[in-house]
Structure 1
Amino acid sequence: MKKWLSLAALVVLGLALVIGAACGGDGEEEEGVTKLKWGIGIPLTGGYGAAVGVPAEKAFFEDNLATVAGGNASTMKFIHDHHVDFMHQATADPGLCAVSITEEYGMILDTAGINYDELDPNKPHFFQSSATWSLHAPAFFHWLKEARPEVHTIAFVGPDDRTGHAVGDSIVAAAEHFGFDMVVEEYTTPETVEYSHIVTAIYPKDPDIIVTTTIDIYVLLKERGWDGLGVSYYWTDAGPEKVGWGNVEGVILYLPNPIGDHWP
């Protein structure tokens, strides 16, 4: 199984650097940090969970449900039950909920999917090491305009949370700026795992491209005879392993991610 939370590769490097700094360079161990506890709040159910797959080991995991309530609950469990030294909260709603708690404890909090205006000197322990996916939309549509002149209409389906809407806003703005027509903009609740109703709404619009992280939607459209292109702005191995790698051949990835497995 190749399901792998790509962020784990980054934290292993970070742990190596921290632990390495706590040890003498000549091989003699000095007093200092030799072990850290890391808590990862990440949606493990619904559409997000399908993308994440089975988490990596060597950390405490809690399902943050991609919601404010889930972010609060998982943060308190990390602090009071697992006694972690630092944590990651994936997606904007849990991350922005957790930061008010972690700052009180002076704890480092890493997040993903927030916009950069959420980072400021008043949150000195708050970082983002993973993507703000909305930043890549203009570059993608600029490339698309030149590389695929046959493409004119765009559909977007994203999660109905702060991260999903931030990505959707950037995709709509970039697509319209470069002269494409947005024919579908849909959002699904994070717990959604069945997408037939979304596919039924998209199919009559016959978009040239569907932009989504939910690979199931692309596969279901193909099964109905749709002949457009699939585009993913956030790719992991879990989705294609679920639907079959042969069913995702030709999908365009516009966010090359330098950590994790090597993707085709």
Structure 2
Amino acid sequence: MSKKEKKLTRREFLKTGAKTTAVAGAVLAGGALMKPGRIFAGAEKATPGAEEKGNIIKVGLNVPLSGPVAYWGVCIDQAYRMAADHINTDGGVKIGDETYMIEIIVYDTKNTVPDARAGATRMIHVDKVKYVVTQAAATMIGTEDVTNPNKVVLQAACWGYRERISSDYFYSFRSEMSDLESGYASYPWMIENYPKIKTSAFIGPDDEDGYSCYEAHQWLCRDHGLKDVGKVYFAWETLDFYPIVTKALAMKPDMLDMSPVPPGITADMVKAAREMGFTGPIHSPAALETRTILEVAGEYATDVVLPVTMEEPQTDLQAYVMDEAKARYGVFNALAGNYYHWLFSLKQAWETAGTVEDTHAVAEALGNSRLENSFLGTVIYAGEEIYGVKRQSIYHCPITLLKDGAAKLVDFRFPKLPSGY
């Protein structure tokens, strides 16, 4: 077996359960994990007659609810339960003279392709679900292999695998921005606030996710006048990140870009870089929360830029969602806030298409949907020129800065996408 073949891929490593982030453990310990099954959100306050008429829209969450990436699935679960309650108690989905309530059905994929396929198959053929939500690479692949041929609309959070954003996957939507899209908000902010940066080095995992994110890094450097000085890949089982950071700093970068790197590993690398004397900004678009980084890196957590991370409410809706999450789950997870608007985009698509049964019409409407004043401001789908179809969600990007061991929201802007996107 070659050296390359011996490397543990990200997906293989996640299957082993070798690592679980502190934040995921805290969320699960707090009782936020929902048991797989059916949830009729807001049923006690729903519009009278909708359930009796059978006017129910089933939305399936085929997400990891156990294992090392359970945090991601839990955030989807929390967001959709809150959003479904909000929609149902506010009168439901209006299509013509009919009112529909939303029913949430949840299955745990454990972030494996076989479990994702099994969950999606059961949702579609047993539960008769026409709208599915998924999260994480292995789960997305297993789910999409079932949903797309069955003309089921899929909302997914998954970076990389851009070949799957195409007209061949007409019913699939990337409802979460990747580091590429959010970078067209965070890179301009960094250049404005760190005008001396001219070069950037990349650190990422040695797998398809890391390779895809390095490609995004190259695009962002090119489009923002920075020189990419090189990359360093790490294995997911790595525990000592000092050698990795040492290799990156040997390239003499003005800034470090690490992606897709979760908060625990971000914290380790931030601490290592600062202890070795690096003073430039550190950009980590996949961390998406601050608690772990601040706890691990402490005073070393300074000039760390975290895109798409909302720490402080700027609108009444953001305050409502944060307070509601704390009341329900004991903690607000920024990632759940990012997912809150997804169901509202679907609601708009159902009402615009005037149907819940014709998923082709709903997919067309979803691709052309536009939300204003959502949790993350304006939300649209773009990518028609680069992918041939509008299936990549774009929205306002909150940017949180860690400075001297404290987190502060410093910007909230819409990504300025390049021509031809």
The residue correspondences of 1:52-201 to structure 2 (distance < 5 A) are 52=71, 55-56=74-75, 59-64=106-111, 70=112, 72-79=113-120, 85=129, 86-91=132-137, 94-112=139-157, 113-114=159-160, 118-201=164-247
Q: TM-score, normalised by structure 2?
A: 0.46
Out of 51, 59, 62, the position equivalent to 1:39 is 62
Distance 1:166 1:34, change over 3 A: closer
CA displacement at 1:241 relative to structure 2: 6.0
Is the counterpart of residue 25 in structure 1 residue 47 in structure 2?
yes
Q: More strand by proportion, 1 or 2?
A: 2
Q: Is the 8 A contact 1:210 1:229 kept in 2?
A: yes
Give deviations 1:16-65, integer Å, cap 9, x for gaps. Answer: 9x9579x96357743433876522048954xxx49x5794567443343x
2:182 partner amino acid: H
Whichever of the two has the greater Rg, that structure is: 2
C-alpha distance 74-137 of structure 1, shift in aligned 2 (>3 A)? same
**Which residue is 1:12 aligned to?**
none
Which one-letter code corresponds to 2:109 in the other structure?
A: E
Structure 2 unaligned runs (5+)? 1-21, 33-37, 79-105, 311-317, 322-332, 338-399, 401-406, 408-421
For the 8 Å contact 2:64–2:72, the answer to whether it is kept is no
Partner of 2:289: 236
Q: Residues 24 and 139 of structure 1: is their aligned pair in 2 closer, same or farther, counting only changes over 3 Å? A: closer
Q: Partners of 2:173 and 2:224 in 1: how far apart?
A: 32
Contact 2:201 2:230 in 1 (8 A): yes
Q: CA deviation at 1:141?
A: 3.0
Q: Could you tell me the TM-score, scaled by structure 1's length?
A: 0.69
Does structure 1 residue 219 correspond to structure 2 residue 271?
yes
Distance 1:38 1:123 in 2: 19
SS in 1 for 2:256: strand
Say whether residues 1:255 and 2:308 are aligned partners: yes
CA distance in 2, matches of 1:128, 1:54: 16
CA 1:79–1:179: 2 relative to 1, 3 Å: closer
Paired residues in the alignment total 244
- Residue 200 of structure 2 aligns to a residue whose secondary structure is strand
SS of residue matched to 1:174: helix
> Which one-letter code corresponds to 1:172 in the other structure?
Q
Work out whether residues 155 and 174 of structure 2, in 8 Å CA contact, stay in contact via their aligned partners in 1.
yes
Q: CA deviation at 1:158?
A: 2.0
1:126 Cα deviation from its structure 2 partner = 1.8
Q: Quick one: structure 1 residues 26 and 246, their matched pair in 2 at CA, closer, same or farther if it must change by over 3 Å?
A: farther
Shift of 1:134: 0.8
2:41 and 2:53 map into 1 onto residues whose CA distance is 11
Aligned partners of 1:142 and 1:178 also within 8 Å: yes
Measured in 1, the distance between the counterparts of 2:181 and 2:59 equals 32
Q: Within 2, Cα distance between the matches of 1:43 and 1:151?
A: 41
Q: Secondary structure at the match of 1:205?
A: coil
% identical equivalent positions: 20
- Cα deviation for residue 135 of structure 1 reads 1.7
**Is the contact between residue 231 and residue 248 of structure 2 (CA under 8 Å) also seen in structure 1?**
no
Q: CA deviation at 1:98?
A: 3.5
